[in-house]
Amino acid sequence: MPSALSTLTSAHDAASSSIKDSDRLAPEDAYFKSVNARKRREKARDRSASRMRKGHYKKLLWFKQPFPDNYTDEETFLDHLQRNPRLQPYEFWSLMGDATVIVQHIASVAIFCCSFAAIAKDRVSPVSVVSWASLCTVLGWALWDYWIGKEEAEAIKVAAAIEAEEISSTSSNASLKEPQGLGLTLPNGSTDQLGHSHSASITSVASDTSNTSTGGHVSAIGSTALGSDFHPPYVDPASSLSPRNQQRLATAKSALLIYAALLGLSPILRSLTESTAIDSIWAISSFLLCMNVAFFDYGTGAGAHLPASISTNSALMASTVLASRLPSTTHVFSLTLFSIEVFGLFPIFRRQLRAISWRGHLALTIVLVINACGGVFMTLTGGGRGSWIAGVILGGILIFLAMGICSWWLIGLQKYKNEIHGPWDPARPIIRPRWD
Amino acid sequence: MPYNIAMISDFFYPQPGGVESHIYQLSSKLIDRGHKVIIITHAYAGRTGVRYLTNGLKVYHVPFFVIYRETTFPTVFSFFPIFRNIVIREQIEIVHGHGSLSSLCHEAILHARTMGLRTVFTDHSLFGFADAASILTNKLLKFTLSDVDHCICVSHTCKENTVLRASLDPLMVSVIPNAVVAENFKPLSHTHGSHPRHAPGPPPRLGPHDKITIVVISRLFYNKGTDLLIAAVPRILALHSNVHFIIAGSGPKAIDLEQMLERNVLQDRVSLLGSIRHEEVRDVMVRGHIYLNPSLTEAFGTVIVEAASCGLYVVCTRVGGIPEVLPGHMTEFAKPEEDDIVEATSRAIKTLMMGKVRTELFHNQVKQMYSWTDVAQRTERVYDGISGALSHDEFYQGAGAGGAWSATRGRAGVQSFALIERLKRYYGCGIWAGKLFCLCVIVDYLLFVLLEIFAPRSRIDIARNWPKKIPIQMQSREKEGDGKEGGSIGRKRSARRREKREEDESET
């Protein structure tokens, strides 16, 4: 009987399909697939020895083989099957680190809600909230501007280095270095003493959009320079100001415009939802804030400069709806401006900070968590300093535990990942990008 | 032992295509081997009811609501009454469904099992596991194939795919390739009456300035690799001044192709023929020297066999079942990458120019590799296996021998049609799906019982078989069959049949 049983299992062996074949479909296989597969193949070989047949079986159709049509060869059947080819096992602390991004965003949403509650209950004056926030925003913007300037300088340095390299090697082979050769116009332009040449302005914008990694600079500049008819927004090549200052001016202008528009709109917004019941307002705003959290762009993508628009829009709409319940025009104006700062500008700063310094990111996370926890506790209990401290301690522990449990859970879930690839998948064609 | 077989698929003539011609060719060859074959498909525009094709092949066009790309609306049960009627009328023993996207075929297999018939399913296509459409199709396939007796796939890759998709025992899946009608794909020299097979001299060499024509015949879709073609054509033409292209076929990517030609001003070296009919394919193919197939996924790739049969050297991508189809001396393989396709084509051109391949011998070689008669013979073995004419050990090579448990369910004559056994099989399909499928099967069974009560078998006429030349050993059995039928009804029907025969179609 054991021989009959073994032939039976060997028939099933290669078919990782059959559900009964628990070994191949076990979650651990995702990790130890190579070891397991080899072990199994060896086993299969031992078993098939008892059923050795004449000749070799080949996976070909064009000649007649001395095997019946439903013959299944244990050696070759499903030999091109790949399971989880691109699996990267998660690590606990890196997951925890990535989770801080989500915690930051949720904390800033919580802070906004607490501020609204405090304003609505007349615990703080709306003007003080918005002035503190605006002060922080201006400081943050100055910091951001400084970082961008530093990045740009670095980019120019890198470009100059490339230029030097290019000049030393231009004689050797021009055609090989075509993509870099196109980037060559850049350093020429930026070292140009005219200061407002077209190429120089490209540099500034390119470094604006580029990421912080030095490798990213070169590629970003190169790609911007390749689109030869690229005109950066807000930059007038004929102006006497440097492109950086032009940009600052443009930012200030748009800030002023938003300020003025809000000031004009506030009376209208104040009476926007007068006819709506208060519970609908709570429902709508909590739904919209949930949407904001759900659709927010937590990625580190280099290209995404602004957070996803659906998330920002829903947050602004939520703040508008909430603001319309406030008593005076000043209240409305303050809350709306505050929401623009929290949901529109703050994410840009956070993204930049995370890219530049991990310590700063961590510190900001801790500050945000402390404020959010304390604020939430104060709002809920209506207490003073005591409840603030209790909230910070309790909320901090709670958030840390939640982060840990979720990370651990995700790591645990990863073993259920079962991606199957094989020759039946449509191939991905690899086509060279065209410049024409 | 002749069987009464019903081929069921949504895809049949007048719609052209690979599955369609497969069904037609297989059926006519099975008829030649003495079986009775009918085809059940849905009604096409202007084609409803019963039709006869060449050789007495009967086609039932059942009126059905078509939703997408000639696939009927999946209603699970609504097909049962008419299906039962046809099956009883034609005394069907084996139901053979084709095409995993055909809902008619899936329904028929379910009903056939309820009625206690043997079922076979042929899979013609490959599916991934990643996207939502594939997941849904795979689940449905698992449903139908949970209780099928045997499966046929057109290539080994297709078998692996089907085994994984439907969780089948690999022993109950046979690989039977497609075939080509080699007579329809003869190279030019054959029509001149010469026999190059026996030509003693060296093959005619192509001079360095002789024009080399590359033929591409494919529908211009993404998954046929048209993007690769568009990228590769200008580069191949730039590398080789004596190369010309003939591209036939139409599709959504045609406009990209035309734009590429205009941008590179290649109109005089690339001729676009638009869509061509299947019978014109040979005439286009023989105008070229190389056939280029840039497809991204392909279960079998009949077209490269046709090209080789026409005496063309084949350049193709190494995807799906394509590497299994032709021997190495007829093909040049490329990765599905632009650079590699250009390289492989250049290699092929070089090989042709040096006279290293005897393309004039390809036709006879292909003729020996693939024939529909062979396919019919191998399919017949499957029928023998599932209906018990072959012993279980012989068919499954000892799987489950010695009384051990076996998952090869099509066990000759042993398999149970008992409802509880079938429910056990369906139950294993998934946590929710298993229960849902069981419900479906129970409802199907109740429908069957209802139909037996309200439309009893005794009230359904038995159709007369097409009169054909009977092989001697079959004659005695046929006589028995004739004796059962009522004489007068038969005569009346045969008169009707004569009218039908006038509209007889012979499509290829």
User: Is residue A247 one of the residues assigned to a domain?
Assistant: yes
CB contact under 8 A, B337 and A69: no
**Chain A / chain B CB contacts < 8 angstroms:** 151
Number of domains in chain A: 1
Q: Is the dihedral of CA B494, B500, B501, B507 positive or negative?
A: negative
Q: What percent of chain B has pLDDT over 70?
A: 83
A424 to B126: CB separation less than 8 angstroms, yes or no: yes
Closest CA in chain B for residue A14: B170
Shortest alpha-carbon distance between residue B296 and chain A (Å): 5
Residue B446 CA: distances (Å) to CA of A417, B90, B108: 40, 23, 16
Q: What is the pLDDT of residues B74-109, one digit of tens each?
A: 788 889 999 999 999 999 999 999 988 888 999 999
Closest partner CB to A70 (pick from B174, B228, B407): B174
Between A385-413 and A358-381, two packed helices, what is the crossing angle to 10 degrees? 120
Which residue has better confidence, B122 or A230?
B122
Query: Which of A251-259's residues contact partners 24+ apart within 8 Å by CB, and which partners?
Result: A251/A141, A258/A340, A259/A337
Nearest to A62 among B164, B172, B369 (CB): B369
Q: Do B397 and A419 touch (CB under 8 A)?
A: no
| Residue B380 distance to chain A (closest CA, Å) | 11
Nearest to B173 among A70, A422, A436 (CB): A70
Q: Residue A301's pLDDT band (boundaries 50, 70, 90)?
A: low
Please, what is the Cα angle at A239 between A234 and A245, to 5 degrees? 60
User: Does the pLDDT at position B128 exceed 90?
Assistant: no
Q: What is the pLDDT of residue A39?
A: 47
Angle between helices A329-339 and A92-120 (to 10 degrees): 170
CB contact under 8 A, A78 and B160: yes
Is the ipTM value over 0.95, yes or no?
A: no
State the pLDDT at residue A169: 55
By Cβ distance, the residue of B156, B157, B227 closest to A431 is B227
Would A49 be classed as within a structural domain?
A: no
The domains of chain B, with CATH numbers, are 4-179+372-459 (3.40.50.2000), 182-369 (3.40.50.2000)
Residue A344 DSSP one-character state: I
B223 vs A: CB within 8 A: yes
pLDDT band for position B64 (cuts 50, 70, 90): confident
> Is A70 in Cβ contact with B395 (below 8 Å)?
yes
Model pLDDT, residue B261: 92
Tell which B residues from 383 to 442 touch A, by Cβ distance under 8 Å.
385, 395-402, 404-407, 428
Tell if the CB–CB gap between A17 and B164 is shorter than 8 Å.
yes
pLDDT at A65: 82
Within a domain: A171: no
Residue A260 falls within a domain, yes or no? yes
The helix or strand, by DSSP H or E, that contains position A386, with its residue range, turns out to be helix A385-413
Amino acid at A382: G
Nearest Cα to Cα of residue B110 among B79, B144, B87, B159 = B144
Let me know if A168 is exposed, middle or buried by CB neighbors in 10 A (0-12, 13-18, 19+). Answer: exposed
Cβ of A62 and B231 within 8 Å? Answer: no
Cβ of residue B173 closer than 8 Å to a chain A Cβ: yes
Band the pLDDT of A256: cuts 50, 70, 90: very high
Cβ neighbors of A10 (< 8 A, separation 6 or more) are: A44, A47, A48, A51, A74
CA distance B479 to chain A (A): 34
Confidence grade of residue A229 (pLDDT, cut at 50, 70, 90): very low
The tally of CA atoms less than 13 A away on the side-chain side of residue A50 is 15
Q: What 3-state DSSP class applies to A298?
A: coil
Mean pLDDT of chain B: 82
Residue A309: inside a domain: yes
For B370, the closest chain A residue by CA position comes to A62
Q: Considering only CB atoms, which chain B residues are within 8 Å of A18?
A: 167-169, 407
Tell me which chain A residue has its CA closest to the CA of residue B378: A69
Compute the average pLDDT of residues B310-326: 90
Q: Which domain holds residue A322?
A: 95-161+232-421
| Cα dihedral sign, A146-A151-A156-A158 | positive
Q: Residue B131: which residues within 8 A CB-CB, separation 6 or more?
A: none
**Any domain includes A293:** yes
- B170 → closest Cβ in A5, A20, A77: A77
What amino acid occupies position B348?
A
Residue with tokens 């918005």: A130
CA dist., res. A199 & res. A197, Å (int) = 6
Chain A contact set for B168 (CB, 8 A): 15, 17-18
Q: Is the pTM of this model over 0.90?
A: no
Region of B76 on the Ramachandran plot (φ > 0 left; ψ -120 to 50 alpha; else beta): left
Contact B160 A419 (CB under 8 A): no
CB contact under 8 A, B398 and A7: yes
Residue A58's pLDDT is: 82
Report if residue A68 sits inside a domain: no
Q: State the smallest CA–CA distance between residue A82 and chain B in angstroms.
A: 12
d(CA B246, CA B248): 7
Closest Cβ–Cβ partner in A19, A427, A430 for B167: A19
Q: Select the residue of B320, B324, B401 nearest A61 (Cβ to Cβ).
A: B324
Per-residue confidence (pLDDT) for residue A287, from 0 to 100: 94
Interface check for B378 against chain A (CB to CB < 8 A): the answer is yes
User: Are the beta carbons of B261 and B272 closer than 8 angstroms?
Assistant: yes
Contact assignment for A69 to B320 by CB distance below 8 Å:
no
Mean pLDDT of chain A: 73
Q: Both tokens of residue A198?
A: 């077209």
